[in-house]
Amino acid sequence: MNLDRRHFLVMLPAAAIAWKYVLAGTPDASPNYTMTDHWWSMLIDIPKCIGCGNCVRACAAENDVPDGHFRTWVERYHVNDWHMEGPEVISPDGGKEGFPAVAQSAGGGEGFSSAPQDEGKYFFVPKLCNHCADSPCTQVCPVGATFIAPDGVVLVDQTYCLGCAYCVQACPYGCRYIHPEKKVADKCTLCYHRITKGLTTACCENCPTGARKLVDLKDPNDPIHAFLKTHYVQVLKPQMATGAKVFYNELDGSVR
């Protein structure tokens, strides 16, 4: 508690509010936060993702994610020209420590990847809970232990969850798991403890290239509105009709 007053005064408002309550030991109070004023989601800009795994590490550190389970992970796709429907996908340890290098072909220019050694293209796809508006996971929960909060975030009440794993089966994206120690369903909370205090999520905060951006659709000043007007954006598995809210810019058709 050594943060002196000078520091408080110069802090940016959002961070200052968050920090004041963290310091006071009452981090639950988010006085300037009204749930109905927000509709949270995320934008993933695929051409910007370099597969460094920073988001996966940050998520694990921020949320105490148990080893071998992932609230967010990164996949590397390799799509061959002749076999669009059968991409080769890897995600070693969820991409936590990055990915093995793919050698540049001899003709590749400086700092610019032209043709890789194998034919076809490579790209990274970060995954996380899609915070679906018509989420199949909250639909099947027998007791109401997982729900869509009024601000559009899909949350799990871990003091109420039975651990039946029906929601794990119902998620088409593989975003849920049963916490090995707590024995309850666990998943991305969109860093609910951060976004309610004006901070961004741990993954967005730590993405070095800005490939992940927290989005508030109810905020008229959010740059997402301009972005969606000018880019080709898709959600994962639209045929599942889950109302997925994580938007992917320039998503390749082979991603599932």
Exposed/middle/buried for residue 114 (C-beta within 10 Å: 0-12, 13-18, 19+): exposed
From residue 168 to residue 207, what is the string marking binding to another protein with x (rule CB under 8 A)? xxxxxxxxxxx---xxx----x--xxx-xx-xx-x--xxx
Q: Does 135 bind another protein (CB under 8 A)?
A: no
Nearest approach in angstroms of CB 225 to another protein is 21
Question: What residues numbered 49-108 form the site for another protein, per CB under 8 A?
Answer: 49-54, 58, 61-63, 68-70, 73, 75-76, 78, 86-91, 93-94, 98-105, 108
d(CA 76, CA 40): 26
Are the beta carbons of 179 and 169 closer than 8 angstroms?
Answer: no
- What is the DSSP secondary structure assignment for residue 54, as one 8-state letter? H
The helix/strand/coil state of 246 is: strand
Are the beta carbons of 74 and 56 closer than 8 angstroms?
Answer: yes
Nearest approach in angstroms of CB 207 to another protein is 7
Q: Does 23 bind another protein (CB under 8 A)?
A: yes
Q: Does 251 bind another protein (CB under 8 A)?
A: no
What is the number of residues in the chain? 256
From residue 104 to residue 133, what is the string marking binding to another protein with x (rule CB under 8 A)? xx--x--xxxx-xx----xxx--x------
Q: Does 24 bind another protein (CB under 8 A)?
A: no
